[in-house]
Amino acid sequence: MKKVEFSPSLMTMDLDKFKEQITFLNHHADSYHVDIMDGHYVPNITLSPWFIEEVRKISSLPISAHLMVTDPSLWVQKLIDLKCEWICVHAEVLDGLAFRLIDQIHDAGLKAGVVINPETPIETIFPYIELVDKITVMTIDPGFAGQRFIESTLDKIVSLRKLREDKGFQYVIEMDGSSNRKSFKRIDAAGPDIYIVGRSGLFGLDDNIEKSWEIMTRDYEEMTGKVLNYT
- Does residue 35 have a known ligand-binding role? yes
Q: Is 231 exposed, middle or buried, given 0-12, 13-18 or 19+ CB atoms closer than 10 A?
A: exposed
The one-letter amino acid code at 167 reads K
Q: How many residues does the chain have?
A: 231
- Contact present, 139 and 176 (Cβ < 8 Å): yes
- Does residue 27 have a known ligand-binding role? no
Interacting residues of 67 by C-beta distance below 8 A, sequence separation 6+: 36, 75, 76, 79, 87, 88, 89, 90, 115
- Does residue 28 have a known ligand-binding role? no
The C-alpha atoms of residue 103 and residue 57 are separated, in whole angstroms, by 28
- Does residue 188 have a known ligand-binding role? no
- Does residue 103 have a known ligand-binding role? no
Task: Verify whether residue 35 is a known catalytic residue.
Answer: yes
- Does residue 33 have a known ligand-binding role? yes
From 14, 176, 188, 207, the catalytic residue: 176
The C-alpha atoms of residue 231 and residue 34 are separated, in whole angstroms, by 23
Task: Verify whether residue 176 is a known catalytic residue.
Answer: yes
- Does residue 144 have a known ligand-binding role? yes
Strand runs labelled E in 53-198: 63-68, 86-90, 111-116, 134-138, 172-176, 194-197
The C-alpha atoms of residue 36 and residue 45 are separated, in whole angstroms, by 7
3-state secondary structure of 47: strand
- Contact present, 157 and 137 (Cβ < 8 Å): yes
- Does residue 177 have a known ligand-binding role? yes
From 35, 38, 133, 193, the catalytic residue: 35
Annotated binding-site positions: 33, 35, 66, 143-146, 176-178
Tell me the catalytic residues: 35, 176
Annotated binding-site positions for a divalent metal cation: 33, 35, 66, 176
